[in-house]
Chains A and B, each alone.
Chain A
Amino acid sequence: MSQYVLSVIASGGVWAILTLSLNLITGYAGQVSLGQAAFFAIGAYAAAMLSTRTGFGFVPAVLAAMPITGVAAAALGLLALRVKDDFLVFATIGVNFIVVAILQYTDAFGGAQGIVAIPLPAIGPVTLQIGAYAGLVVALALLAGFASRWVERSWLGYGFAAVRQDELAARTIGVPAAQLKVVAFALAGLLAGLAGALYAYFLGNVFPQNFAFVISIQVMAMLVLGGLGTVPGAIVGAAVLTALPEILRPLADYRYTIFGLVLVITVSFLPGGIMGHGGLGDRALGRLRPRRAAT
C-alpha cells in the first residue's frame, strides 16, 4: 500500500477513536457535546509537550495524555450537571473556542506556532514507520470499540441508557445520574486523549487550528452518520467520512461543507444512521433482526 493510503488509514483510526469517545457521552449517556475537539486538543498537546519538552517516549506520552485528558473532561463534565440539553450544546461549543484561544494566545503552549518537531513514534528501539503506525492505530481503534461494547453491556451502560432516556425515572430507581454523567465525560476523555496523542505523533506538529470547532462538527457528523449509540456506527461513520473526501478528490476542498451536509441530511432522513435502529442495515434485513437492547 502506498504511503498515502496508509496515512489515510491511520487518520481514519484516529477519527474512529475520537468518534467512539463522543459516542460515550452523546450516544450512551445522551449528553450532547459539540466541543469534542477540545478534549482532542488536550490529548494532542499533552503528548506533544511531554515528548518535545520533557523527553517522554511515545508510549509513556500516550499513556500520560489519556488520564490528563480524562481528568480535564471530567471537570468539564461538571458543566453537564449545571446545564442541560440545548444549553449544554452551547456550553461545549464555548469550551471548544476557549481551549483553541488559550492554545493560540499562550506562549507556554507555543501560541500560533504550535508544538513542532514531535519525534517519530517508537516502541523501544523500533521506530514505527507509517505502515506499522497505521496498524497500531487501527488496532487501538478496535480495542476502543471493544472497551465501548463492554461499557454498553455493563451496569454502567444500563445506567447511561436510563439517564439518556429519562433522567428523573433513572434517579427514581437508584441510578446516580449526576455521577454517571461525570463518569461518561471522564471515560470519553480517556479515549479523546488517546486519539489526540496518536494524532500528534501522526502529524508531527500540532497547531491550535487542528482542533477548531469544525473538528467537533466533523466528529458529530461521523457519529450521527454511522449511528448514534452504536460502536459499529461510530467506526463505520468515521471510516466513511475519512475515505469520502479522499476518494472524491475534487471534494476534498469542501470537506467541512460535506460534513455539515451529511449531518443535516442524516438527522433529517436517516436519524438512526447507517448502523443504528431503522438504519440502512436494518432496512436491508427487512426488520428481521431482533432489536438489540440497551443501545
Chain B
Amino acid sequence: MSFLAAEQLSVSFGRLTALDGVSFDVERGQLVAVIGPNGAGKTTLFNAIAGAVRPARGRAVLDGRVVSGRPPHRNALAGVARTFQVARPFHELTVRDNVLVGLGRARYYRLGGLLRRARSSADIERAEALLGDVGLGESMERLAGELPLGHLRLLEIARALALSPRLLMLDEPAAGLRDTEEAALEALLRRLREQGLTMLLVEHDVEFALRVADRAVVLTAGRKLAEGAPEEVRTNPEVIDAYLGTGTEAGDATR
C-alpha cells in the first residue's frame, strides 16, 4: 500500500464542489507536485488532508491511518505538516519562538509537559538549526511580523519542519521569492527529499514544480485531469489544452 493515499476525496462548500472524487497515491520519500489553474482545488486538497476541512466523501490515508476528517492538531502530532498559501506566522513572536511553538508538540497534551518551561537549550538549538537550514539564521531575533513575505514562507517551512513531519505539504512556497531565494528553496527541497521526507508541492510556477518533483498530479475544477512523471504531464495534450496552454506563462497567472 502507498504511503499517502487520497481516495475519492470530495469537498463541497455549499453548492460548490471544490474537490470532486480525487484519488492518487504517493510513495514514501516522493515529492509530488500538485498543479492546476486558479480555483482548481489545490489548497482545498491540502486542507482536506490536514483536517482543516471535512470531506463530503472519500478519505485521505497516511501510512495506514485516516487523516482526513480528524482535527488538524491531532494530524500534526501524527506527522502531517503544511504551510499556507497566505503566510500565517505568529506575528508577535520572534522568528525563533515561532519555530519553538512547533517543537512543543506532545508537551501540550500532558499537564507535566504544559507547565514545564519552554526554551530549554536543546529546543533552542533545534529551532536555530531548523532556521539555519531554511536560510533564516540571520533573522532569529526579529518579530515574525517584521519579515518580508519571502522570509515568511521560509519561516513557515521551518515551523512545519519543527513537527519532524512524515508528510510536508507546501502551498506555493516560491510565490513572492526573488530568484536567488527561489534557487535556495529548490536546494532546500532537494535536501529534504534526500533525507527521505515525503512532500506535496502546490506551485503556480509550473517549471519550478516539474523540475523538483518526482511526479505530478494535475487538477482542474476539482477533478484530477492527469497524473504521471513530469515529462508525461508536460507533454500530455489534455493538460496543455486545459492548463498549460500553448505558451509557457499560463501557470504563472497570479500570486
- Residues of A at the B interface (CB closer than 8 Å) are 150-151, 153-159, 161-162, 165-166, 168-177, 179-180, 183, 290-291, 293-295
Contact = CB atoms under 8 A, between A and B. Distances in A.
A122 B118 CA distance: 39
B193 interface: no
B255 interface: no
B191 interface: no
B64 interface: no
Interface string B149-173: 0000000000110110000000000
A154 B239 CA distance: 51
B104 A159 contact: yes
Nearest to A156: B114
Contacts of A153: 117-119
Contact of A175 (B92, B94, B101, B160): B101
A12 to B, nearest CB: 28
Chain B interface extent, by class: 35 or more
B203 interface: no
Contacts of B72: 168, 171-172
A154 B90 contact: no
A155 B93 contact: no
Interface stretch (B27-35, B77-85, B226-234, B244-252): B77-85
Given A171-B76, A172-B82, A176-B73, A155 B107 contact: yes
Contacts of A290: 141
Contact of B115 (A150, A172, A174, A176): A150
Contacts of B93: 161-162, 165, 293-294
A158 B104 contact: yes
B128 interface: no
Interface of B: 50, 52, 71-73, 76-77, 81-82, 84, 88-94, 96-97, 100-102, 104-109, 113-119, 141, 143, 159-160, 162-163
B101 A173 contact: yes
Nearest to A290: B141
B84 A159 contact: no
Given A150-B115, A155-B114, A172-B50, A166 B77 contact: no
A169 B84 contact: yes
Contacts of B76: 171-174
Contacts of B50: 172
A149 B98 CA distance: 19
Contacts of A156: 108, 114-115
Nearest to B115: A154
A169 B91 CA distance: 11
Contacts of B100: 158
Given A150-B115, A172-B82, 4 more contacts: A154-B116, A172-B81, A174-B163, A176-B109
B163 A155 contact: no
A162 B91 CA distance: 9
Contact of A165 (B91, B106, B113, B115): B91
Contacts of B84: 169, 172
Given A157-B118, A169-B88, A173-B163, A162 B143 contact: no
B72 to A, nearest CB: 4
A169 B101 CA distance: 11
Nearest to A176: B73
A153 B114 CA distance: 10
19 contacts: A150-B115, A154-B118, A155-B108, A155-B118, A156-B108, A161-B90, A162-B101, A165-B93, A166-B90, A170-B90, A171-B71, A172-B72, A172-B76, A172-B82, A173-B76, A173-B160, A174-B163, A175-B73, A295-B92
B118 A158 contact: yes
Nearest to B110: A155
Nearest to A173: B102
A153 to B, nearest CB: 6
Contacts of A183: 114
A156 B104 CA distance: 9
A212 to B, nearest CB: 34
A175 B118 CA distance: 14
Nearest to B142: A291
Contacts of A175: 73, 101, 104, 108
A155 B104 contact: yes
B45 to A, nearest CB: 15
A169 B104 contact: no
A166 B84 CA distance: 12
A172 B71 CA distance: 9
Nearest to B91: A165
A166 B83 CA distance: 13
A276 to B, nearest CB: 11
